[in-house]
Amino acid sequence: MNRKTKLLSYTVMFAAVSYVVFTYAKINIPVPGGGSVAIHVANAVVVLAAWLLGPKYGGIAGAVGLSIADILDPLYIASAPKTFFLKFMIGYIAGTTANRLGLHETEDPKQITKITAISAVAGLGFNVIFEPIIGYVYKRFLLRTSAEAAAILSTWLGGVTAFNAVICVCVSVLLYRALYKQFRNIFR
């Protein structure tokens, strides 16, 4: 199997895993004004995919998998376009940061942990900042929610996004440490 076919196959696999993790392993919390926010670790799968497949393919895997999850869930269907953008950016930023810090050039476990933690914080930090901002704009101007309701929903979303990010940094670093040796030579 050539490199491109392997990359596409693993991209589809990670899209499916991110979909399954979000769909079947999340806790929905209802918020005032309707809708809900979810506590989940699917973003850890996006970050892991970006480290193993590269920024572009990892970002695409997360964007596709989690957008499909949104489209198929009545609670999140309206969020699918912003999900696609935000999840792609999580993967792209985490993968690019890891590459620039030399993740694939080191064998030192401490260095691997440091690089993965920093790059996970970079990607998920982007999401912590921009998920509530884009969520507010999206709810306020595209879904025509009142300013007060959009602000309340964005505040809830910001808190849950930050909580998810902390958990996802830890989970993604642990998953990478467990899996990187099996994946390291697949694409080299």
Hey, what domains does the chain have and what are their CATH numbers?
A: 3-183 (1.10.1760.20)
Quote the pLDDT of residue 119: 98
pTM of the model: 0.92
Residue 35 half-sphere exposure toward CB, CA atoms < 13 A = 20
Quickly list H helices, the chain: 3-24, 42-53, 55-71, 80-100, 109-137, 147-183
Confidence at residue 178, expressed as pLDDT on a 0 to 100 scale: 93
How far is it, in rounded angstroms, from Cα 168 to Cα 17?
15
Tens-digit pLDDT profile for residues 11-32: 999 999 999 999 999 888 887 6
Amino acid 188: pLDDT: 52
Low-confidence winner among 41-45, 53-57, 59-63, 152-156 (lowest mean pLDDT): 152-156
pLDDT of residue 153: 82
d(CA 6, CA 63) in angstroms, rounded, equals 19
